[in-house]
Amino acid sequence: MEELPQEENGTKRTGMDSLLQRLYQPGPLIILFTIAFLALAGLGYYLLTEETPPPAIVTEKVETTPVPRVYEEDTSSEMEDKVKQADLAIIESMKSMQMSMASLDLLDVEIRKQNGKGYHFQVLQLPAVKDQNLFHKHLQANLAQRLPEAKILTINKSELDISIDDLPTHRLLLKEIPLTLPPPTHKGPKMVVVIDDIGENMKVLKGLLKLDFPVTLAVWPHATHTRKSVDLITQSKRDLIIHFPMEPRGYPRYNPGDDALFISMSKDEIEKQVAKNLAVIPEAIGVNNHMGSRFTANTQGMNTALAAFKRNGLFFLDSLTTGKSVARSSADEAGIPFYVRDIFIDNVKDVNAIIHQLKKAENVALKKGYSIAIGHPYKETLAALTKWGATKNTSILLIPLSDLAPQSL
């Protein structure tokens, strides 16, 4: 065995002591410091030149809001919609001057045409306007905001005319002026209120069923609450019709649903789809179209559909979503009882605006003996019907659609 080295004082030295003594010499220390320096320099260079990795992406589960279903076709380009915007400007001007909305009287309505499409010319009696110049300023400002193409023409101190696209649409009487209206051509004018799109909002449906006058209710065949709605309507003994989906011109942006009638369907396919939808609501006594601006303009498809409705003992109400509808001639061909809508009451969801449309429907009834107004299950529509019902023209009888004599060519 090799003998361990001895310290000078005679102490025995270990192998580690000997190693440390050799390392602590100047030469080895310089080598160690050089290696350490190079290592640190290399590490620094690496850290400075390395590309910083992108931050980790933390993904969260984001709840997306489903795109709402579009229930009605867009008619915003039609003249009648512009007339309704002018109606709103008048109502807003009256509110600005704290004028009584209950005193706004629709004296006369005349249906006029622009490019084959109807709009309503109206004569409105306003409550006495104390400051007519201020009212004119309010009206000018509200029209400029809603309908820049509208113009106001001062007839005299008590009368203003509004024109849209150079067509007269409103005459405003700012003080009471006696007018002689043409007498109604039929005795006992009648009015029908139809509410479409039933089957989703049960709260509004229950409110509609509590109204003290009859409303006709059009139920979607495949809504969330179709069966519940049908049961409530039949128990309340209201007129129940099917709100039958049909292809619109804006399809697929405006989608009537898979249960709709399309012009691409064959005669057999149309008859099968009619049978499917009718089977869902066998209690129905009639049908009106949901959307359908393209399908109701298609003679072949409408002839097939209305013949199928006729075989099932139903009548047809044309919601008139297009001026090109052939529903009337198809109904005559099929021999089915037929009706056509006069006024949509709630394209603008404002209670006072809806009441104004109901007054238009009253005026139409006074002039031709009857009118059919269509609305939707909005809370504003329910509120308007409730308010209007307390002050409606008592000379007009509100009836269910089934009590109105069918129209013919």
What stretch of H or E contains 281? none
Cα 266 from Cα 252, distance rounded (Å): 19
Q: pLDDT tens per residue, the chain (409 residues)? A: 444 444 444 445 555 555 555 555 666 656 666 676 666 666 666 555 555 455 554 444 444 444 445 556 654 447 888 999 999 999 999 999 999 888 888 888 888 888 877 888 999 999 888 888 899 899 999 999 999 999 999 888 788 999 999 999 999 998 865 544 444 444 689 999 999 999 999 999 999 999 999 999 999 999 999 999 999 999 999 999 999 999 999 888 899 999 999 999 999 999 999 999 999 999 999 999 999 999 999 999 999 999 999 999 999 999 999 999 999 999 999 999 999 999 999 999 999 999 999 999 999 999 999 999 999 999 999 999 999 999 999 999 999 999 999 986 5
What tokens appear for 346 in the block?
């709630």
Q: Which CATH class is domain 190-403?
A: alpha beta
Residues β-bridged to residue 162? 152, 170
Instruction: Please state whether 6 falls in left (phi above 0), alpha (psi between -120 and 50) or beta.
Output: beta
79-173 and 190-403 agree in CATH topology: no
Q: Per CATH, is 79-173 categorized as 3.30.460?
A: yes
What pLDDT is recorded for position 44? Answer: 60
How far is 222 from 88, CA to CA, in rounded Å?
35
* CB-CB contact of 291 with 245 (8 Å): yes
Residue 22: per-residue pLDDT: 59
Domain map (residue ranges) of the chain: 79-173, 190-403
Cα–Cα distances in angstroms (integers) from residue 261 to residues 27, 72, 125, 272, 278, in the given order = 98, 16, 45, 10, 13
Question: What integer pLDDT is reported at residue 250 of this predicted model?
Answer: 84
